[in-house]
Amino acid sequence: MKALLQRVSSASVKIDNDLLGSIKKGIVILLGIQSGDNDLDIKYIVDKTINLRIFDDNSGKFNYSLLDIKGEILLISQFTLCSDTRKGRRPSFIKAASSEEAIILFSQSIEQFKNTGIVVETGKFQSHMSVEINNDGPVTIMLDSQEI
């Protein structure tokens, strides 16, 4: 499982100009679910994300986590994070989970993030969305549950 985290001052997601979700200060998570991912991958991504110290203290150092600042999450499913671009000019998505497998793990991820008490907004699985991200910093971190 791959999660691209972006620290934001605000973010929103729309489909055809209909607002699905929006957050204020927090993290946008673009979540790529790979074939073979499971509950342990979800647990790693959730625990790492909510406890990762990427928010500034008064001296400008990364000393606060999402929990510390009472930030919010905008969680977006993004299978393209699972692409393989080593060969040719067209990305291969062979490592991405099937849509049937991915929807189950994405739904479980939403629930696990919500169980932490953090406000969670989401996009719509397998939809073409417009995501507005006001990256703060910019701060962008890649997590990969397979690299633990």
Tens digit of pLDDT for each residue in 49-79?
Answer: 999 999 999 999 999 999 999 999 999 999 9
Query: CA 53, 55, 61, 63: dihedral to nearest 10 degrees?
Result: -40
Determine phi and psi for 98, rounding to 5 degrees.
-60, 155
**Of the listed 6, 34, 78, 122, which one is catalytic?**
78
Instruction: Verify whether residue 78 is a known catalytic residue.
Output: yes
Domain locations along the chain: 2-147
pLDDT tens figures, 18-43: 999 999 999 999 999 999 999 999 99
Average pLDDT along the chain? 96
Fold annotation for 2-147: D-tyrosyl-trna(Tyr) Deacylase; Chain: A; (3.50.80)
Please answer whether residues 108 and 39 qualify as being in contact, where contact means their C-beta atoms are separated by less than 8 angstroms: yes
**Of the listed 79, 106, 113, 122, which one is catalytic?**
79
pTM: 0.94
